[in-house]
Amino acid sequence: MAVFTPVTNAELGDWLQEYDLGDVVEFRGIQSGIENSNFFLTTTHGEYVLTIFENLTAAQLPFYLDLMRHLASHRVPVPDPMPRRDGSLFGMLRGKPASIVTKLEGAPELAPTPAHCIEVGQMLARLHLAGRDFPQHQPNLRSLPWWQEKAPAIVEFLTHEQRELFESELAHQAAFFGSADHASLPEDPCHCDLFRDNVLFAHGREHARLGGFFDFYFAGVDKWLFDVAVTVNDWCIDLATGALDPVRVDALLRAYQTVRPFTPAEERHWNDMLRAGAMRFWISRLYDFHRPREAEMLKAHDPGHFERILRERVKAAAAVSSVQR
């Protein structure tokens, strides 16, 4: 359980005096997540999720919470932050910013089919378009500058072969991010972390229905193509090898593009962005694995998973280049 900051019932009761959410019925930690302390909260008014933010500051938090409210108002199924009596969307709990959001219906689908990928692709495109008139701007804080900042703390733990891949890909991405084509790619708020466990499906009698997207606390303004690539790298792969499943890839991309078609530059740089998505999560997992923080029962994700994915994407790019030559 990722609970960095435990909360007693007495502390919770005092803190909830600033909300109009009724009395506490149940309160328990959530057994997932590696960035924040998360709890399921049931009150006499409904079901919610309470999050204590371990890394985000009070100055950074409004972007995420206001974005969720904005998307919810545009009928994108996301958790809706609950206002306090003073109108703010968060307060300080145990000396850290904390918020309460509505709990979505459903459960994660960890073995997605093409049908699941279609729903995710369509909704991701709707999310991107809904964010176009969101007035606030904050960059993706886990983009290239963060990779470059964390690299020195990581490379000492890598084998020679891993270090060659790491450094060559970092150089490739720096060149790509600095290119005119990259600058031309459409951008606006992105989820940036739309893994299988951040999407809920409600299972009905005939088929699964998308319950919503959650955990927006890595969101930021980035290239829409990056968001799609991160999603495909998780939803449309063989988990054992990191290889793409063409059927699921086709389902998700076709569904996305029925709502928002790719630009020619996006088409050209699809593999570059798949590599960027893999690199981002290889770096963060390496950092969490080798430079862990203390937490109750916290287990870092395997960095090798995204190393395999990145090697697959680099291999695919090399195969295309050899054919073109």
pLDDT per residue as tens digits for the range 209-265: 999 999 999 999 999 999 999 999 999 999 999 999 999 999 999 999 999 999 999
Mark whether 21 and 137 lie in a shared domain.
Answer: no
Mark whether 59 and 119 lie in a shared domain.
Answer: no
Mark whether 148 and 232 lie in a shared domain.
Answer: yes
Q: CA-CA distance, 285 to 142, in Å (whole number)?
A: 12
Please report whether residue 108 resides in a domain: no
Mark whether 152 and 299 lie in a shared domain.
Answer: yes
- The model's confidence at residue 292, banded by pLDDT at 50, 70 and 90, is confident
Structural domain count of the chain? 2
Mark whether 96 and 170 lie in a shared domain.
Answer: no
- 264: helix, strand or coil: helix
For 36-69, the pLDDT digits (tens) are: 899 999 999 999 999 999 988 999 999 999 999 9
Mark whether 181 and 311 lie in a shared domain.
Answer: yes
Q: Would the pLDDT of 297 be above 50?
A: no
Structural domain containing residue 87: 9-102
**pTM for the full model?**
0.92
Q: What is the CATH number of the domain that holds 317?
A: 3.90.1200.10
Any idea what DSSP says for residue 262?
Answer: P
Mark whether 187 and 253 lie in a shared domain.
Answer: yes
Q: Kindly report which listed range (87-91, 156-160, 291-295) carries the lowest average pLDDT score.
A: 291-295
User: b vs e for 56-95, b when ≥16 Cβ sit within 10 Å of the residue's Cβ?
Assistant: beeeebbbbbebbbbbbebebbbbbbbbbeeeebbbebee
Q: Would the pLDDT of 296 be above 50?
A: no
Please report whether residue 2 resides in a domain: no
